[in-house]
Amino acid sequence: MSSALEVDKVISHLHPEGSFDLADHPVPTGREEVWRFTPLKRLRGLHDEAPFGAGACAVEVSAAQDVVVEQVGADAVERGLSGLVPTDRVSARAWAAADGATVVRIPQDTVVDGATILAHTGTGAELAGASHTVIVAEKFSKSTVVLTFAGTAVLADNIEIVLEDGAELTVVSLQDWADDAVHHSTQHARVGRDASLKHVAVSFGGDLVRHDATADYAGPGGSVEMLGMYFADEGQHIEHRLFVDHTAPHTKSNVVYKGALQGQGAHAVWIGNVLIRKVAEGIETYEENRNLVLTDGCQADSVPNLEIETGEIEGAGHASAIGRFDDNQLFYLRSRGIAEDEARRLVVHGFFNDLIRRIDVPELEEKLAATVESELEKNVLKAFK
């Protein structure tokens, strides 16, 4: 099948021209708009010439019933099925270096019980890894695919997500890396007519995690929900860059990312880009990013961008907030006898609770709540021990 999407070109800084040719992607200096928040010297050369090797990550696949997971070669038709064309050098290098792809296929009309899990474990290998994953949700299928990342690795990957017409798919990317891991991920979804994607990014671990998650629409009526949750600790750089390209009418997008920061040098970046093309009449979009700064010495950057080429829409909006503990919330809870550490714990759990509820992947819920708790132990509650 052809995945080419015919759209007019748009002169937009949100929409850099992609290319498979490495020559079109010079080594970034850090002054480029798309690189200005990223500490390049901690990227271990992924953006430059760092060699790739095999075995950076071991992948354990646990496929839910009826779901087919297979390895294909580098020239397999599945590669590129989502229309992904690398827009930065790391993605282009990973594309060229990957020696094949893991394809996850959810057969047509199949409602799958339970999640398909691709568990990546960094092996601590000397060389960086390049990998490629393609998830294809065939027509009217319904399923959940979870990618987890743990251990130590330097990894650049491209993850393609294809939703055929009427498909319903949840994709979770859980970054629970060891403290020294570096992960650059490019994730692109093409959403078919009346299809609905829930994309979830959860970033807890790693020295530097930079994620590009993008989506466009192959037909009208598609819906994208992008949910994100992150906890940036001392010295950690966690960057989520989102781009929803409304390429078809009557499509929806809803983006909610929430993060907490704690410890010296913790840095979180959120870029939320939405483009509403001329053709995209009657669409609805909303994006929101909230950061809770728990200690001194942290930095949160939150940049929502909305470009609108047609006024004939249902609604478009965004919200961005960076805040500290709200003294009034703490006072209210404490005035009911709740000790300060417990009050702080309640506020942070509360901050993430509705998001965890919306993520709604039973396999993950307990883990997410437990991770919030263990993150809190590191700083927020330490003063009360």
Partner 1 sequence: MSTLEINDLHVSVETEDGPKEILKGVTLTIKDGETHAIMGPNGSGKSTLAYSIAGHPKYTVTGGTVTLDGDDVLAMSVDERARAGLFLAMQYPVEVPGVSVSNFLRTAKTAIDGEAPKLRTWVKDVNATLEKLDLDSSFGTRSVNEGFSGGEKKRHEIAQLELLDPKVAILDETDSGLDIDALKVVSDGVNRFIEDKNKGVLLITHYTRILRYITPDFVHVFVNGKVAESGGPDLADELEANGYDKYVSAAV
The site for partner 1 (CB under 8 A) is made up of: 326-329, 331-340, 342-343, 346-347, 349-354
Q: Quick one: CA dihedral 9, 46, 134, 269, positive or negative?
A: negative
Q: Which is nearer to partner 1, 308 or 338 (CB)?
A: 338
- Smallest distance from the beta carbon of 335 to partner 1, in angstroms? 5
Bridge partners, 119 (sequence order): 60, 148
Q: How many residues does the chain have?
A: 385
| AA letter at 308 | I
Question: Between residues 314 and 354, which has the closer beta carbon with respect to partner 1?
Answer: 354
Nearer to partner 1, 189 or 355 (CB): 355
Tokens of 72: 């294909």
As a whole number of angstroms, the distance between CA 13 and CA 60 comes to 38
Least separation, in Å, of the C-beta of 363 and partner 1? 21
**Could you tell me if 221 and 192 are in contact, meaning their C-beta atoms sit under 8 angstroms apart?**
no
Kindly state the smallest distance separating residue 343's Cβ from partner 1, in Å.
8
Q: Name which of 166 and 259 has its Cβ closer to partner 1.
A: 259
Q: Which of 82, 95, 88 has the alpha carbon at shortest distance from 18? A: 88
Give alpha helix (H) positions in 102-228: none
Instruction: Please say which residue, 154 or 380, places its beta carbon nearer to partner 1.
Output: 380
How far, CA to CA in Å, does 101 sit from each of 97, 98, 130, 199, 348? 11, 7, 10, 20, 39
Instruction: Provide, rounded to whole angstroms, the least separation between the CB of residue 373 and partner 1.
Output: 14
Taking the complex as a whole, how short is the minimal distance between the CB of residue 347 and partner 1, in angstroms? 7
Min dist. Cβ of residue 218 to partner 1 (A): 36
Q: CB nearer to partner 1: give 250 or 344.
A: 344
- How near is the Cβ of 151 to partner 1 at its closest, in Å? 31
Helix segments in 217-339, DSSP class H:
327-334
> Residues 364-381, buried b or exposed e (16+ Cβ, 10 A)?
beebbeebbeebbeebbb
**Please, which residue, 31 or 357, has the CB nearer to partner 1?**
357
Where are the strands (E) in 192-251, listed by range? 196-203, 208-217, 223-232, 237-246
